[in-house]
């Protein structure tokens, strides 16, 4: 479907009582499946065993497809990390699946990364000049190699991770496993989420709090922007050195609009409540006379509920979603992706026939998906379809791990709202006003660059750097 794709999800756990954590990683990754459905993997180790004895498995596919029971039975350890992936850098091939596992002079290192760097080229060339050979096309491997290189010259792995993080420009939520420690790092802007939980004597790091719940862990707190957490036999240690490297915070607004799971709490904001507030803001900004408010499953439903509560127009379901249809975004052609919409969603004719419909969704990227849905509703007998979008128009690409395409593929970058309304066949169209976003997300400082072009760092300067390979 022509829509924004999920980011990645990371998970890490260290059981200080020595219990096996393999199944917990599986359940944690399953609860983060919405963040990445392209590839997944896990790595585990026994902290009481020989250094460097890491068991790992990763491949393309869903968690249930890759981490099968017979595979998990061969793996055990009291410390481990996992990853679900949707690629924003690097091709969709098995080699790019995570976690990345390295064996080097200091033992072993496993790393899982959510986010995207803007200075990958500079960092990679620095490694290539010293003889590094890369096996993937991801920026995550660049991070892992820098940590390994720093570790050779430092007294502990935390120092190596910190030295590496100082070089990184962009967005990252990292979980790193060394032979005896579990480390979590969040970028100083807070662009990517990361939280800490505890179950008995086991500590858990995860992209979202819903993953903590899935393994019976209690949410302790969010990792602060620029914070590094180290979990070892000595307990939990926090380092805030990175936090002072930037003067602003810029939490990704799309976590609250779309990415995060409804039952997650992120930086003190309940995701469900944020989306309800977004829908209420839409109703205030773009009221309309209608008979039914409905949402595009699943992402538009909470905002539609908020629109209904504010407007007084009844909320109801207009679509049935077939949850057993394959992932439409892996269809090879745009035409096949568009036809898959009809397989995945069908209209409930009796719910829409003869009615004026308010249709709420989280975003419009190319406009093809929403246009198909409007045609389906009108074919089923809807008299009018008024579209309301719980985000502002996409005008700029994202460089931090959200799959917002280039400007020429963004319908709003070349067309006005009125033109888009006519192109998609809607009777009216209203986008979320940018001024409402902070209130929706609990008044957090936000990154809204995909809407307003104001990036929290100098992205263009880094991307435009010319790297002289000496050829």
Beta-carbon contacts of residue 297 (< 8 Å; ≥ 6 apart)? 319, 321, 345
Residues carrying an active site annotation: 8
DSSP label at residue 51: T
Task: Give 416-470 pLDDT, tens digit per residue.
Answer: 999 999 999 999 999 999 999 999 999 999 999 999 999 999 988 877 775 544 4
Give pLDDT, residue 469: 41
Contact 289, 283 (CB under 8 A): no
Measuring CA to CA, which residue among 178, 145, 180, 146 is closest to residue 163? Answer: 146
Task: Give 30-59 pLDDT, tens digit per residue.
Answer: 999 999 999 999 999 999 988 778 999 999
Q: Alpha-carbon distance 45 to 100, whole Å?
A: 14
Is the Cα dihedral 442, 211, 81, 221 positive or negative?
Answer: positive
Residue 332 has pLDDT above 50, yes or no: no
Count Cα atoms within 13 angstroms, Cβ side, for 60: 9
Task: Give 65-90 pLDDT, tens digit per residue.
Answer: 999 999 999 999 999 999 999 865 45
The angle formed by the CA atoms of residues 430, 251 and 100, to the nearest 5 degrees, is 120
In 46-123 the beta strands, taken as DSSP E runs, fall at 54-60, 79-85, 100-104, 107-117
What is this structure's pTM?
Answer: 0.91
């Amino acid at each position: 479907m022509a829509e924004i794709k999920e980011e990645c999800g990371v998970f890490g756990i260290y059981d200080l009582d020595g219990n096996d954590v393999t199944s917990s990683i599986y359940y944690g990754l399953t609860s983060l499946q919405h963040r990445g459905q392209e590839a997944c993997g896990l790595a585990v180790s026994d902290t009481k065993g020989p250094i460097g004895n890491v068991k790992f498995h990763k491949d393309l596919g869903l968690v249930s497809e890759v981490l099968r029971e017979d595979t998990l039975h061969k793996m055990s350890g009291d410390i481990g990390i996992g990853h679900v992936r949707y690629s924003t850098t690097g091709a969709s091939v098995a080699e790019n699946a995570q976690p990345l596992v390295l064996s080097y002079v200091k033992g072993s290192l496993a790393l899982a990364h959510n986010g995207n760097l803007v200075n990958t080229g500079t960092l990679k060339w620095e490694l290539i000049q010293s003889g590094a050979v890369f096996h993937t096309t991801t920026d995550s491997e660049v991070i892992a190699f820098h940590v390994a290189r720093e570790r050779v010259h430092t007294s502990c792995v935390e120092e190596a991770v910190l030295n590496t993080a100082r070089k990184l420009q962009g967005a990252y939520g990292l979980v790193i496993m060394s032979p005896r420690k579990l480390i979590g790092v969040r970028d100083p802007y807070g662009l990517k989420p990361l939280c800490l939980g505890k179950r008995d004597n086991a500590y858990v790091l995860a992209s979202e709090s819903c993953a903590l719940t899935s393994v019976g862990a209690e949410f302790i707190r969010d990792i602060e922007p620029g914070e590094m957490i180290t979990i070892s036999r000595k307990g939990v240690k926090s380092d805030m050195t990175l936090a002072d490297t930037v003067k602003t915070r810029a939490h990704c607004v799309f976590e609250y609009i779309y990415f995060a799971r409804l039952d997650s709490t992120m930086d003190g904001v309940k995701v469900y409540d944020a989306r309800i507030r977004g829908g209420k803001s839409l109703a205030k900004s773009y009221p309309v006379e209608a008979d039914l408010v409905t949402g595009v499953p699943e992402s538009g439903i909470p905002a539609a509920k908020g629109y209904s509560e504010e407007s007084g127009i009844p909320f109801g379901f207009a679509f049935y979603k077939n949850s057993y249809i394959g992932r439409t975004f892996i269809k090879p052609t745009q035409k096949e992706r568009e036809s898959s919409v009809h397989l995945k969603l069908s209209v409930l004719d009796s719910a829409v026939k003869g009615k004026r419909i308010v249709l709420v969704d989280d975003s419009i990227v190319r406009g093809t998906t929403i246009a198909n849905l409007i045609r389906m509703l009108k074919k089923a007998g809807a008299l009018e379809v008024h579209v309301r979008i719980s985000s502002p128009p996409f005008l700029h690409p994202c460089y931090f791990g959200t799959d917002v395409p280039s400007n020429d593929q963004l319908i709003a970058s070349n067309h006005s709202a009125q033109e888009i309304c006519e192109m998609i066949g809607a009777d009216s169209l209203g986008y979320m006003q940018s001024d409402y976003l902070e209130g929706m997300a609990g008044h957090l400082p936000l990154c809204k660059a995909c809407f307003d072009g104001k990036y929290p760092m100098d992205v263009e300067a880094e991307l435009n750097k010319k790297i002289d390979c000496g050829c």
